[in-house]
A and B are shown apart, each in its own frame.
Chain A
Amino acid sequence: TQLLEQSPQFLSIQEGENLTVYCNSSSVFSSLQWYRQEPGEGPVLLVTVVTGGEVKKLKRLTFQFGDARKDSSLHITAAQTGDTGLYLCAGVFWGSQKLVFGQGTRLTINP
């Protein structure tokens, strides 16, 4: 079974602080996506990474794909209360077409 481990599952920090969320697997991904989900809604795609070592930026969010394509991270700089939400990593393992999700990180940014 190909598993995708996401950590931490819960994170509560003060506004202005930085944070990093990790997504790891023992298997290689052909691609990996990061999503954000609001309560009662479907996940919204933030970014897709495909190439090992790839770094993508979306305003204060920085996404990194590991060189071996087995891990990824999401770093948020100077977190704002509007960043509060559920962040999900999801990967397509090499040789598969399935999109499998990590456990999610419930992020709370306190004013």
Chain B
Amino acid sequence: DSGVTQTPKHLITATGQRVTLRCSPRSGDLSVYWYQQSLDQGLQFLIQYYNGEERAKGNILERFSAQQFPDLHSELNLSSLELGDSALYFCASSVQGANAGELFFGEGSRLTVL
């Protein structure tokens, strides 16, 4: 158990819909990362937050947005969903400082868009 909790584990929805994925980081971790894992594109970095502020941005579509709340949990919002958005979405957390870069992953949220 990594200590990172993601909900829901599975989600099935239709094209054009909007969903929210939730992540609770490990206790004490200030950084949260979101990754998308699809069969043909490996693990793609979406976005990083540190203590409530956006810190780094990767290949995140404009239809997607995220935020980190004062209690440090994070949400990833996916809107106007397309078939190609079907993937496994991982959240990870980390500390800063000496162990920077060592990520702890949740079990993922599997999104299926029909």
> Are the chains A and B members of one assembly?
no
Chain A positions within 8 Å of B, measured between CB atoms, are none
